[in-house]
Structure 1
Amino acid sequence: MASRAGGSAARRVYLSLYNWVVFFGWAQVLYRAASALLLGSGSHEAVYAAVEQPLLLAQTAAFMEILHSILGFVKSPVSVSLSQISGRLYLTWGILWTFPEVQSHILVTSLILSWSVTEVIRYSFFGTRETFGFEPSWLLWLRYSTFLVLYPIGLLSEVGLIFVAMPSMKVTQYYASAVLTTLYVPGFPYLFRYMLAKRKKVLSAAKTA
């Protein structure tokens, strides 16, 4: 019994540190993106250059969440973690980092803003839960409501950027990207329905608590 409690405590400490570290990374992305738009040149063309380093680090760190699902550290289905994170890693490294000519596109700005706002909310939510054992109601609502707008924006930006990069791709990259893009067709409804069901369950439970 003691070993189970120790394992649970170690898991919470690890997940607390993980969530707050990645939260800080995404907060840097959001701050730098906003600064580039509001305080810098005021052009969307400067956004990617401003956020590249923390974006690459924060998004790559999300690979650990696939392992978290596999190992049972979190309750998220492996299929959900794998589909979300693999697609984002491809966009981050396979499109944004690989093709500099797309980095100044306006879709990059919408993608980065939708990703960073979503992740700042998500990681602060789970960080608060793991650290303190609860989360404020307003943060709970943001976690399970903002995706209704931000998820479609992010999805359209992702697909749009793949199409923008396609003329610069080699044949193998082109066909790989085409296959990935077709996976968005069944993938989006699956993930969106999952989040809708999760939202209904969590917010309903919060009302009766």
Structure 2
Amino acid sequence: MSTAKGKTNKKPSTVANSYLFLYNFIQVFGWSYLLFQIVNFYVNPPKDQTLWDIVKYTVGIFQNAAFIEIINVAIGLVKSNLAVTIQQVLSRVAIVAAIAFIPETSNSPGLPLALTAWCFAEITRYSYYGFNIIGYIPYLVVWARYTFFYVLYPVGVSGELLVYWTSLGYLGKTKMWSIEMPNKYNFSFSLWAAICIVMLVYIPLFPQMYLHMVYQRKKTLSKLELKKVQKKKFLEDNV
């Protein structure tokens, strides 16, 4: 007699949940601190420092800490698409690298736009994940997670594209990290061209991401409203 083997839904251990909860709320703290730095920079502007001078270490630490998310997905602690997670993390890291290594980008008008959008997006995202681990997500956090994107996506994408655009002049002049023919490897690479291609990729990807979030918002908030109605009806029926 054969027995059917079904999929076992293994729940993360208490240690794993504690680790994930801690990671998410450390990120909430980090991005909240970065938001404070940005606001303080414009409220009390320093004399001889740019915005990037003020925030570079905070951005470097907490954005690069997102590599941990790739590991979490790869080892099965978090149920998510590994390829999508890698793409999301690397796209942000690429922006940070551009700002760090290409001088002109630190004065780009896109820098404060991108960083501010990232702050609000990450504070709500990591709060959502953190509360989800303990099984209770406040409605305000859910609403923010699935509503702020209406503004944050266009602002963030505009900021990122402006940062890339600002880098092109410098890359065109210096040929930074580019390999020209002829050479012994019979290979050429242009960072200027690579960034142009990345910018063009935003054109088809942005509408897809935006419409996906519109759909997710409708789906998620509709479920919450239905639960609220059912709970209210239950209470009324049992008074």
TM class by shorter chain equals 0.7 to 0.9
Q: Which residue of 2 aligns with 1:162?
A: 164
Per the TM alignment, residue 42 of structure 1 is displaced from its structure 2 partner at its CA by: 9.4
Per the TM alignment, residue 124 of structure 1 is displaced from its structure 2 partner at its CA by: 1.9
Deviation sequence 1:148-171 (CA, Å, 0-9, x none): 110111011111211110111124
In structure 2, distance between residues paired with 1:82 and 1:190: 18
- How is 1:48-127 mapped onto 2 (pairs within 5 angstroms)? 48-93=52-97, 95-127=98-130
In structure 2, distance between residues paired with 1:80 and 1:97: 25
Q: Which residue of 1 aligns with 2:191?
A: 173
In structure 2, distance between residues paired with 1:147 and 1:42: 34
**1:14 and 2:32 correspond:** no
In structure 2, distance between residues paired with 1:168 and 1:10: 48
| Unpaired runs of at least 5, structure 2 | 1-9, 179-189, 228-239
Q: Which letter does structure 1 place at the counterpart of 2:126?
A: Y
Per the TM alignment, residue 68 of structure 1 is displaced from its structure 2 partner at its CA by: 2.9
Q: Which residue of 2 aligns with 1:32?
A: 37
Per the TM alignment, residue 107 of structure 1 is displaced from its structure 2 partner at its CA by: 1.4
| Unpaired runs of at least 5, structure 1 | none
SS at match of 2:20: helix
In structure 1, distance between residues paired with 2:47 and 2:76: 44
Q: Which letter does structure 2 place at the counterpart of 1:58?
A: F
Identity %: 28
SS at match of 1:55: helix
Q: Which residue of 1 aligns with 2:145?
A: 143
In structure 2, distance between residues paired with 1:108 and 1:59: 14
Query: Is the alpha carbon distance of 1:142 and 1:42 closer, same or farther for their aligned partners in structure 2, counting shifts above 3 Å?
Result: farther
Assess if the C-alpha contact under 8 Å between 2:117 and 2:153 holds in 1: yes
Divergent runs of 4+, >6 A: none
Per the TM alignment, residue 186 of structure 1 is displaced from its structure 2 partner at its CA by: 2.3
Which structure: larger Rg? 2
Q: Which letter does structure 2 place at the counterpart of 1:200?
A: K
Per the TM alignment, residue 79 of structure 1 is displaced from its structure 2 partner at its CA by: 3.9
TM norm structure 2 = 0.77
Which moves more between the two structures, 7-16 or 136-145?
Answer: 7-16
TM norm structure 1 = 0.87
**1:198 and 2:211 correspond:** no
Deviation sequence 1:175-203 (CA, Å, 0-9, x none): 22122222212221232233222222211
Q: Which letter does structure 2 place at the counterpart of 1:148?
A: Y
Assess if the C-alpha contact under 8 Å between 2:110 and 2:161 holds in 1: no
In structure 1, distance between residues paired with 2:20 and 2:57: 23
Between the two structures, name the one with larger relative contact order (CA 8 Å, sep ≥ 6): 1
Assess if the C-alpha contact under 8 Å between 2:109 and 2:162 holds in 1: no
